[in-house]
Structure formats: structure tokens, C-alpha cells
Amino acid sequence: MDDISTYSTLKSTSESLYKEKGSKFYGYAFPVFSEEEVKEKLEEVRKIHNTARHHCYGYRLGVGIKERYRANDDGEPSNSAGKPIYGQLLSAEITNALIIVVRYFGGTKLGVGGLISAYKISAKEAIDAGEIVEQEIMDYYKINFEYPEMSEVMNFIKLQKIDVTSQVFETHCEICFRVSLKKTPSIFSHFEEIEGVEISFLEKK
């Protein structure tokens, strides 16, 4: 699966509200790229719904053999919430995405089957409320070089329209950038050819 160069994900945050026998299920769908972002989004939703007892979720990160995922029932019966939420990410064939469903109990028990259905529908509606887009998988690199190499390095970055994510320009310089898989070989080899430039791989996402 190393030849995969694109993946589907959510364009932006979307929300839904599903009601079943008095219970309310608030669905939130987020594009995310790390476990840290997942934690941040969970904290945001918990602050919004600080009186709710259940903040259940599922997420997928990465592509292929590097995919990471988790499903959490947050106090609901085992596999009645997190698993059906995560299942909707699989059904929609999206990754780098997080779905949180918040439940307010309405006084009538739904049973395990009812909960599975409600969390599944809420997650699906949260996804459907947004837009799914195709993204290129990006390689992230860091280059280190001394100030005299600055001109050649920056001219190449400008010529290739390389997306710089951070930079430090002092006596010793450092630039972090990302590039699509299709352009990685040529850009990597060019930087290797510039005397005094050290390039190192950071991550793929």
C-alpha cells in the first residue's frame, strides 16, 4: 500500500443532531492529523456539553500500514457507541477524521441495539453534513545549512513552490517543509546535491 498517494477526509468541521425517544445525540465531525488534535477537540466538545454524561468517539489517522484508530464508549455499554461511530468512518472511507457523539439521556432506555443504531445514525449525519475531499499524502522534511547556502536554497524553494512550514534564519539555518509524494524524489535529490545542506525525513501524513 506504499503506492497510495491520496486519501479522503473531511474538508471542515460539521455537526448534526439526532433525537430518539427523548434522548439527544449531538454529532461532531472534525478533520484531525494527530492524537494531540483529537484530545483538543474532545476538550472543546466536553466544555460545550459539560453536563452530558457520555462523550463517545471514534477516529482514524494515517493511511495504509501506518493507520491508527480508536473507538471509545465513554461509559455506554461495551461496543454500543465507539464502534458504530468508528464504523461510519470506515463506511465513508475517510481518514484523518474524528467523530464525537454527545448523548443527553431523555428518560427512556434505548437498549444496546437502540444505542448502536442511534450512535451510528448520529455519526453518519455528522459526516453527511460536511464535505468529503481528496487530499494528497505529504512528506515532511527538515533541511539544515549554513548562511552562505541561503541564496541557492531559497531560489530552489521559490522555483518549486515548496510549502515551508517553519524556518529559522541565523548563522545556522533550518527550514521545515512538506511536499507531495509525486514531487518528493526530485526535490529530495536536489537538496542532497547542494553542498552543505543536510536533509532529514520527519513524517508522512
Residues 6+ apart with CB under 8 A from 174: 142, 143, 144, 166, 167, 168
CA distance 128 to 112: 24
The per-residue pLDDT for 2 is 53
Has residue 10 got a pLDDT over 90? yes
The per-residue pLDDT for 4 is 74
Mind listing the domains of the chain with CATH numbers?
6-135 (3.30.230.30), 137-204 (3.30.70.240)
Closest CA to 36 of 25, 47, 48, 44: 44
CA distance 28 to 148: 50
**How many helices, marked H, and strands, marked E, lie in the chain?**
5, 11
Which tens digit of pLDDT belongs to each residue from 74-120? 999 999 999 999 999 999 999 999 999 999 999 899 999 999 999 99
Has residue 1 got a pLDDT over 50? no
Which tens digit of pLDDT belongs to each residue from 130-187? 999 998 888 899 999 999 999 999 999 999 999 999 999 998 999 999 998 888 889 9
Closest CA to 114 of 202, 37, 44, 19: 19
Cell of 10: 473531511
Which tens digit of pLDDT belongs to each residue from 36-63? 999 999 999 999 999 999 999 999 998 8
Q: What is the mean pLDDT of residues 22-35?
A: 95
The crossing angle, in degrees rounded to 10, of helices 150-160 and 184-193 is 170
What's the pTM value of the predicted model, to 2 decimals?
0.78
The per-residue pLDDT for 6 is 87
